[in-house]
Amino acid sequence: MKNKQLQLLLISIIVFAFSCKQKSSTPLEIVSLNDGWQFSEAGKNEWLSAKVPGTVHGDLQANKKIDWPYYRDNEKEQFWIEKKDWEYKTTFQVTAQQLQQERLDLVFEGLDTYAAIYLNDSLIKSTDNMFVGWEIPCKKYLKNGTNSLRVLFKSATNITLAQLKANKYLIPCANEYAADSLRSNVFARKAPYHWGWDWGPRIVTCGIWRPAYLQIWNSAKINDVFYAAKEIKKDKATYNAKVEVNATTTTNATFVININGKKAASKEVKLATGSNNVELDFEILNPELWWSYGLGKQPLYAVETQLLVGNNAISKKMRKVGVRKLELVQTPDSAGGASFMFKLNDVAVFMKGSNYIPADNLLPDVTPERYKKVIKATTDANMNMLRVWGGAIYENDLFYDLCDENGILVWQDFMFACSMIPNGKDHLANIKLEFDENIKRLRNHASLALWCGNNENMVAWKGWGWQKAFKLTPSDSTEIMDTYKKVFYEMLPNAIKEHDGTHAYWPSSPGGGYEWNKEQNPKSGDVHDWSIWF
């Protein structure tokens, strides 16, 4: 009897050990949550089919509740939509085996904008920034079988109008004669152009505008990798891979870098519980250089970083890397100014390009084909640079991938345009979150040429009469400018230094230099020449 009990105990120990080993070496699993959604005006319980990624305007049109927003003055007939709250819901399945895994995270890559997320009727997250993704640990809220997921979107117009009324002074924005509902948009970390611009309609939409999924993993997961060029020579390019890793427990791991499928470097490390930063160097021998359109080809190397526990690759990140040197050259000249010139692989490049605005107010309607059409039009016009304008969005990954593949350099604005910045600890922390995520998301692209703080904020402050138009006192003006300087001369350059450090930063366009009070200057910066069309 005792022998039999001992045998059963030994078998149990072996089975437990085997199951633990299997659990810890399970690769990361992604379960899409883009299907089966419905939506309703909040409180009405009138559910209709919805598309994710999507927008409430798109869903209303698809269900024949509104006409196409861009036809004639339909835009004005649909302003009521932005003043309502909207609710989205779906259900999804989770298995007992999935629930045994260490981490289950709910991921929304983009929510527009003020959202409350409920999982099985428990509030698990409230969001307030369109420009960031949300990764929410949710295992304790999940159950075996059917789970319900609900997202309540509060009206951005109503929320920001309340903030406008509560603020002690008006925050200057592009049109001092605008209705309050336009001026209020400065309080939202949401695409400014949704409230209307001189080139486009006012469609203040909301929705799950980027993919949603459940992320299931064990032991450790790569969050991000930055491939920072150390030295680029004709015979080899040397890179430092900076890997951000999250681990559930102390773990022995191996990191492997493959280039075009071939092993280029590896490193064994002991991960600590929580966040880890791992660095390893690698080389690309006899590299083919990446060139902008018209100067040469755009070869891209598939660089993959793997995280191995034992012999199992449990997490991977792959980026296409273009080998190139790029610098903004500002050399003092005899005219009393300084050059504003990009050098690519030590060759001066004459920049030819456009100011790029989103292809639609309803962003999920921009299909891959439409993105490809824009980039083809860019090369057909012999352009080699696009400026992602600051009144819009940090574009989808596909946009930057296409720029990489076609040699289109990107001047990247941060999402501030023609307005000043509200103060407040929470608002600035929200902005910092946005800076960190988008710098890390975009920094690896060969096409990225320049970070720019904002569009026309400084020239507007100094030249558009805002202090008088908005009846600002000297103390109000000082507070507004102190916030501006904190965002664009402290928070943003510090974030770029921390997460990138390989691309130039320009505080405001147009601008005349890095000092905070420099206006546009044709002798040493960039100029917006409105006389061309006004």
Active site residues: 456
Cα–Cα separations (whole angstroms), residue 372 to 251, 351, 393, 413, 448:
43, 21, 18, 21, 18
Which residue(s) pair with 451 in the sheet?
412, 505
Residue with tokens 């007939």: 77
DSSP per-residue codes, 425-493: HHHHHHHHHHHHHHHHHHTT-TTEEEEE--BSHHHHHHHS-HHHHTT--HHHHHHHHHHHHHIIIIIHH
Cα–Cα separations (whole angstroms), residue 31 to 94, 131, 376:
10, 23, 34
**Is the separation of the CB atoms in 239 and 227 below 8 Å?**
yes
Edge to edge, what strands does the sheet with 353-356 contain? 353-356, 385-388, 409-413, 448-452, 504-506
Q: Which two tokens stand for residue 214?
A: 């459940």
**Is the separation of the CB atoms in 391 and 433 below 8 Å?**
no
Alpha helices in 78-140 (DSSP H): 96-99
Q: Are strands 504-506 and 122-128 parallel, antiparallel or unpaired?
A: unpaired
**Is the separation of the CB atoms in 437 and 244 below 8 Å?**
no
Overall size of the chain counted in residues: 534
CA distance 488 to 511: 13
Cα–Cα separations (whole angstroms), residue 454 to 298, 388, 435, 484, 509:
29, 11, 12, 10, 6
- Beta strand segments in 15-142, E: 29-32, 38-41, 48-49, 86-94, 103-108, 111-112, 114-119, 122-128, 134-137
User: At 323, phi and psi to the nearest 5?
Assistant: -85, 115
Cα–Cα separations (whole angstroms), residue 251 to 143, 220, 227, 270, 314:
28, 8, 24, 6, 12
Query: Which amino acid would we find at residue 173?
Result: C
58: helix, coil or strand?
Answer: helix
CB neighbours of residue 122 within 10 Å: 10
CA distance 102 to 85: 35
